[in-house]
Amino acid sequence: MSSNQSHKHRDTLSFRLPLWYALIFTLTSLLALSIFYYCISQITMGNTDDELLEELNEIYVLMQEGGVDQVTVEIVLEAESEGNGIFYRLLTNDGVVLKAINMENYGNVAVSEAALEGLRGNEKYVIETLKIPEHGYDVRVIYGAISPTIVFNMGLSLKDNYKYLGIFRNLIILLLIPLFFIAAFIGWFLARHALKGVEDVTQTAIKISNGAIDKRVDVKSRFYEIDRLANTFNGMLDRIQSLINGMQEMNDNVAHDLRSPLTRIRGLAEITLIGKKSIEDYSEMAASTIEECDKLIAIINTMLDITETESGVSLFQSEPLDIVELIVSACELFDPIAKEKEVRLTTVLPDRLIIQGDKSKLQRLVTNLLENAIKYNRQGGTVTISVKQENQLVNLQVEDTGLGIPEEELPHIFERFYRCDRSRSQAGIGLGLSLAKAIVKAFGGEIRVQSTLNQGSLFTVSFLIDSKRTLK
């Protein structure tokens, strides 16, 4: 493995997670075992002290019953049976040594003045720990008065205690090493299991970046978080794919819809050039070219408007405006066209209704719906535009008595460039409702349509009075 690869490996979560897990687990175990070790050492020290006290009591009783001689015999015998691990002394109150047994192993350590002082101060006994280099181990020592004039002094080597605790210490260290590796293994196993899902997502992302856009991550119900990641990732891919498909479809549509006017312009120019035409024919060609160019410009502008509205690039103003006034102005604008088609324009409006919104976008929305209602109406038909407020909700309706829309075509009318078969005789580019839908969506509202063939259609736009909030 190159140094770069090993460096990368050290940065991986599957390496670091087990390592951290093992370290924390080992340190916690060390702490627990240390507390345990401390308790054990305290208990063994307590046992030693109990032993010293028991001996002091025995000697005290013996002193009362048999005097110093009896005590001397007893301690000589005990020293013989215990060996080097013990020393005895009998002292006067002032610290003069009357009898000493086994002291040569303890460097004839001096009598503790502080301990004698304690006894003189009415303490029953004094226990202390001595460091005796000649002995090599610490010694626990007791001083206690066994008669008004004699002090019993005894020392117990802590050699056995320390050996016992030493073994325990080594055991702890020996235990920690395998514990670290076992914890690292468990951590590695858990991390591998948990990261398997992440690895699946990565592998799918790699396949997708290599071109397999239809690939998805398998959701295997392993862990909630991983499943959620996989589902979110798949959802994101679905959305991207549908966007790509939409863009592809739009490209096809744009290409198709731009090609027709361009072909017509070219055809006209060609015919005019080939035949020997008069100046009137050239004027007619120029007029037709302008008309076709206007159509092209309208397509391009509306496409740009839709894209900007959908992407949120064009900023939405949020100003208080009277929607009733806006509708009345739109009706005045369309009145001549309606009259020309012999369509009656009626309104059902309150005196005023102030909402928060973007005036120019709302104007586009209302004029698009109104224009369609007139355009796809029959001679002598009616268009009714109404608006009303219900609590925080504003409902705008445009109803006509025209062609109507076949049921199977209803789901498509908001798609870009979609035009119903029956209405193709009318001028139009199939983008008006797409723009209307984009505006309503950016407004946080919704647009619905109900239609009966040959009877008419009803478009309803619902949005909240304060357009900063969304309906859903």
Q: According to the binding rule CB under 6 A, does residue 419 interact with ligand ADP?
A: yes
Residue of 90, 150, 183, 373 that binds ligand ADP (CB under 6 A) = 373
Residue 206: helix, strand or coil by DSSP?
A: helix
Residue 389: helix, strand or coil by DSSP?
A: strand
CB nearer to ligand ADP: pick between 197 and 430: 430
How far is 414 from 430, CA to CA, in rounded Å?
A: 9
Q: According to the binding rule CB under 6 A, does residue 366 interact with ligand ADP?
A: no
Asked if 82 contacts 74 with a C-beta cutoff of 8 angstroms, the reply is no
Residue of 321, 400, 443, 461 that binds ligand ADP (CB under 6 A) = 400
Q: 456-464 and 319-322 as β-strands: parallel, antiparallel, unpaired?
A: unpaired
CB nearer to ligand ADP: pick between 19 and 458: 458
Residues that bind ligand ADP (rule: CB under 6 A) add up to a total of: 20
Q: Interface with ligand ADP by CB under 6 A: which range of 20-28, 48-56, 67-75, 369-377? A: 369-377
Residue of 405, 442, 447, 464 that binds ligand ADP (CB under 6 A) = 405
Q: What is the DSSP string of 229-257?
A: HHHHHHHHHHHHHHHHHHHHHHHHHHHHH
CB nearer to ligand ADP: pick between 105 and 434: 434
Q: Interface with ligand ADP by CB under 6 A: which range of 137-145, 159-167, 335-343, 395-403? A: 395-403
CB atoms within 10 A of CB 226: 21
CB of 278 to ligand ADP, least distance (A): 35
Q: Interface with ligand ADP by CB under 6 A: which range of 115-123, 179-187, 353-361, 411-419? A: 411-419
DSSP secondary structure letter of residue 426: S
How far is 119 from 147, CA to CA, in rounded Å?
A: 12
CB of 435 to ligand ADP, least distance (A): 8
Q: According to the binding rule CB under 6 A, does residue 430 interact with ligand ADP?
A: yes
Q: Interface with ligand ADP by CB under 6 A: which range of 57-65, 202-210, 232-240, 398-406? A: 398-406
Residue of 431, 438, 447, 464 that binds ligand ADP (CB under 6 A) = 431
CB nearer to ligand ADP: pick between 141 and 403: 403
Q: According to the binding rule CB under 6 A, does residue 402 interact with ligand ADP?
A: yes
CB of 359 to ligand ADP, least distance (A): 21
Distances from the Cα of 48 to the Cα of 51, 73, 74, 100, 192, angstroms: 5, 23, 20, 21, 52
CB of 445 to ligand ADP, least distance (A): 18
Q: According to the binding rule CB under 6 A, does residue 372 interact with ligand ADP?
A: yes
How far apart, in Å, do the first and last CA atoms of the chain sit?
55
Quick one: tokens of 255? 């290409």
In single-letter form, the type of residue at position 106 comes to Y
CB nearer to ligand ADP: pick between 26 and 423: 423
How far is 393 from 466, CA to CA, in rounded Å?
A: 9
Q: According to the binding rule CB under 6 A, does residue 403 interact with ligand ADP?
A: yes
Query: For residue 461, what are the β-bridge partners?
Result: 396, 447
Q: What is the DSSP string of 144-189?
A: EESSSSEEEEEEEE-HHHHHHHHHHHHHHHHHHHHHHHHHHHHHHH
CB of 334 to ligand ADP, least distance (A): 13
Residue of 26, 157, 423, 467 that binds ligand ADP (CB under 6 A) = 423
Q: According to the binding rule CB under 6 A, does residue 433 interact with ligand ADP?
A: yes
Residue of 281, 428, 444, 446 that binds ligand ADP (CB under 6 A) = 428
Helices 323-340 and 359-375 meet at what angle, rounded to 10?
30
Classify residue 444 by burial, with Cβ atoms within 10 Å: 0-12, 13-18, 19+. middle
CB nearer to ligand ADP: pick between 144 and 402: 402
Radius of gyration of the chain from Cα atoms?
50
Q: Interface with ligand ADP by CB under 6 A: which range of 30-38, 332-340, 343-351, 396-404? A: 396-404
Q: What is the DSSP string of 335-373?
A: HHHHHHTT-EEEEE--S--EEEE-HHHHHHHHHHHHHHH
Residue of 158, 420, 442, 461 that binds ligand ADP (CB under 6 A) = 420
CB of 438 to ligand ADP, least distance (A): 11
CB of 418 to ligand ADP, least distance (A): 6
How many whole angstroms from its chain centre is CA 150? 78
How far is 195 from 16, CA to CA, in rounded Å?
A: 12
Span 117-156, contacts to ligand ADP by CB under 6 A = none
How far is 22 from 140, CA to CA, in rounded Å?
A: 40
Residue of 87, 125, 143, 376 that binds ligand ADP (CB under 6 A) = 376
Q: Interface with ligand ADP by CB under 6 A: which range of 59-67, 166-174, 333-341, 432-440? A: 432-440
Q: According to the binding rule CB under 6 A, does residue 381 interact with ligand ADP?
A: no
- Quote the Cα angle for 65-67-72, to 5°: 115
In single-letter form, the type of residue at position 129 comes to T
Asked if 350 contacts 324 with a C-beta cutoff of 8 angstroms, the reply is yes
Residues that bind ligand ADP (CB under 6 A): 372-373, 376, 400, 402-403, 405, 413, 418-420, 423, 428-434, 457
